[in-house]
């Protein structure tokens, strides 16, 4: 029997094996990189609480180096402790991602470690990012970049920085910093920054506070306030905050119904009210607002006082812009400062602060419900808890003696009373 067979089969060549194996090798490399990058624990411990003294230090630094009060081109230097940097960096990190930041500085060298826990990853995995810097004659040079156990080329850093800046709208701020900072000197426990403000630094910083979309949105509420204030009788110089909130949130609900983002509308409404109640022009934060219609100045009241609207609204904006330890500490700063030589510590003001914080949280967490509750109109009692039995005008020594200062047993007891009263307000009921 004769069998007929075809030509001998060719064994797969190296090119075919490469085409088959390359995707597998790439997949294995990606899996290995992920395994090396993610850790089971955070390298950075939970930062300690931001205290009132931290805020006082930050306020002192800001006042001393305000670009509005310095001659353009003049070279200045600012000394920041490692603690100062950690407070600021942790505040910024918590505003955009859930992260912890640790800074170490020595002569000529510094290290920054950030621990991030991405919400999308199961099992509580952490990204621990380490950056090592070495001092130069100008800006520090990145010497090491690693994520977990994965060492990355430092040449990747500029690209990664651009991606982060673009993702969180920080490009303008980074550009301003690069234009202003001349040199960074690294020292044990301190970082010295040599800088020179430019003629347009203030305007550039202000322009970065609100996007163009936010400015357009804010103008709608500023014009509503203008119309309300100008419609009041000329002999009336006071206005209840409650009487303003109804029309402002009616507008927020209208704009939400037409397709705008509810939380963004609430933010714009509260920002406009905050600026108005503090008697400031909007151009302080939006230079273009100089050309907008301007409301008639009025004294804004709540429960018969003109300080309660400011406490309520500023605290609401702090909660909206970032519910971080630094934001919470700022809410206490004025009261402690007053106890050290001002009008004295006030639990009444603290109650207004806490109610404002809840208002800001609700503006973001359940924005449409807040609009539905405020748009029909409210009275003063709907916005603030009962103030009876809450002491005020306490000098620091008496405040510490009677209540143990901030965090003392007496202070915490009264704070719990305040929180309980706020919780009973229908506005904040679940």
Are 249 and 269 contacting, i.e. CB atoms less than 8 angstroms apart? yes
Report d(CA 62, CA 121) in Å as an integer: 38
Residue closest to 285 by CA, chosen among 296, 276, 293: 276
- Give the mean pLDDT of 297-306: 94
- Give the mean pLDDT of 213-235: 93
pLDDT above 70: residue 249: yes
DSSP 68: G
Residue closest to 313 by CA, chosen among 325, 324, 301: 301
Residue percentage of the chain with pLDDT more than 70: 79
Q: Which residues are within 8 A (CB) of 272 and not within 5 positions of it... i.e. 6 or more apart?
A: 218, 221, 222, 224, 225, 248, 282
Are 315 and 356 contacting, i.e. CB atoms less than 8 angstroms apart? yes
Per-residue confidence at 314, pLDDT binned at 50, 70, 90? Answer: confident
Per-residue confidence at 112, pLDDT binned at 50, 70, 90? Answer: very high
Backbone angles phi, psi at 198, to 5 degrees: -100, 170
Residue found by looking up tokens 């353009």 in the block: 72
Residue 274: HSE in the Cβ half-sphere, 13 Å Cα cutoff: 21
Please report, for the chain, the start and end positions of each structural domain, with discontinuous segments joined by +: 52-205, 210-428
The residues that bridge with 192 in the sheet, in sequence order, are 79, 185
Per-residue confidence at 189, pLDDT binned at 50, 70, 90? Answer: very high
Query: Is the torsion defined by CA of 311, 333, 423, 399 positive or negative?
Result: negative
| 341-354 pLDDT per residue, tens | 567 788 998 999 89
More confident residue, 194 or 62: 194
Q: What is the 3-state secondary structure (H, E, C) of 273-319?
A: HHHHHCCCCHHHCCHHHHHCCCCCCCEEEECCECHHHHHHHHHHHHH
Report d(CA 225, CA 120) in Å as an integer: 42
Residue found by looking up tokens 């009264």 in the block: 414
Out of 197-206, 271-280, 282-291, 397-406, least confident range: 197-206
pLDDT above 50: residue 74: yes
More confident residue, 180 or 413: 413
Question: What 3-state DSSP class applies to 130?
Answer: strand
Residue percentage of the chain with pLDDT more than 90: 40
User: According to the model, what pLDDT value does residue 190 have?
Assistant: 92
Q: Which residues are within 8 A (CB) of 142 and not within 5 positions of it... i.e. 6 or more apart?
A: 131, 132, 133, 154, 157
Are 76 and 194 contacting, i.e. CB atoms less than 8 angstroms apart? yes
Residue 247: HSE in the Cβ half-sphere, 13 Å Cα cutoff: 16
| 8-64 pLDDT per residue, tens | 555 555 555 545 445 555 555 554 455 556 677 888 888 777 666 776 777 777 767
Report d(CA 294, CA 292) in Å as an integer: 6
Strands (E), 53-180: 75-81, 99-106, 109-116, 126-134, 141-147, 150-152
More confident residue, 233 or 92: 233
Question: What 3-state DSSP class applies to 393?
Answer: coil
Report d(CA 409, CA 402) in Å as an integer: 10
The mean of the pLDDT values for the chain is 82
Per-residue confidence at 221, pLDDT binned at 50, 70, 90? Answer: very high
Report d(CA 35, CA 147) in Å as an integer: 11
């Amino acid at each position: 029997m004769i069998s007929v067979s075809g030509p001998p089969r060719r064994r797969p060549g190296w090119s075919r094996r490469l085409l088959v194996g390359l995707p597998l090798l790439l997949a294995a490399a990606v899996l290995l990189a992920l395994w090396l990058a993610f850790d089971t624990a955070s390298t950075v411990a939970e930062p300690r609480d931001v205290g009132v003294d931290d805020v006082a230090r930050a306020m002192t630094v800001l006042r001393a180096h305000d670009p509005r009060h310095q001659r353009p081109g003049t070279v200045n230097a600012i000394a920041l402790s490692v603690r100062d940097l950690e407070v600021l960096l942790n505040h910024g990190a918590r505003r955009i991602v859930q992260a912890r930041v640790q800074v170490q500085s020595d002569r000529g060298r510094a290290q920054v470690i950030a621990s991030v826990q991405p919400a999308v990853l199961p099992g509580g995995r952490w990204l621990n990012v380490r950056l090592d810097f070495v001092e130069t004659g100008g800006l520090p040079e990145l010497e090491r970049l690693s994520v977990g156990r994965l060492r990355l080329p430092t040449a990747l850093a500029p690209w990664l920085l651009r991606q982060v800046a673009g993702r969180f709208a920080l490009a303008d701020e980074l550009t301003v910093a690069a234009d202003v900072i001349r040199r960074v000197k690294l020292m044990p426990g301190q970082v010295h920054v040599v800088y020179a403000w430019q003629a347009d630094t203030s305007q550039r910083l202000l322009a970065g506070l609100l996007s163009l979309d936010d400015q357009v949105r804010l103008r709608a509420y500023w014009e509503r306030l203008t119309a309300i204030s100008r419609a009041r009788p000329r002999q009336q110089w006071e206005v209840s905050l409650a009487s303003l909130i109804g029309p402002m949130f009616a507008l927020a609900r209208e704009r939400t119904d037409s397709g705008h983002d509810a939380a963004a509308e609430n933010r714009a409404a509260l920002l406009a009210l905050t600026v108005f109640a503090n008697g400031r022009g909007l151009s302080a934060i939006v230079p273009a607002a100089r050309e907008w219609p301007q409301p008639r100045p009025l004294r804004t009241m709540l429960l018969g006082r003109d300080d309660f609207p400011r406490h309520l609204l500023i605290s609401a904006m702090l909660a909206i812009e970032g519910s971080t330890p630094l934001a919470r500490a700022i809410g206490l700063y004025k009261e402690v400062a007053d106890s050290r030589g001002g009008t004295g510590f006030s639990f009444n003001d603290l109650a207004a602060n806490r109610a404002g914080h809840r208002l800001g949280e609700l503006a973001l967490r359940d924005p449409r419900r807040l609009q539905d509750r405020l748009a029909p109109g409210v009275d003063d009692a709907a916005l603030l808890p009962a103030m009876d039995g809450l002491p005020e005008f306490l000098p620091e020594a008496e405040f510490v003696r009677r209540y143990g200062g901030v965090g003392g047993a007496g202070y915490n007891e009264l704070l719990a009373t305040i929180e309980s009263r706020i919780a009973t307000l229908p506005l904040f009921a679940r």
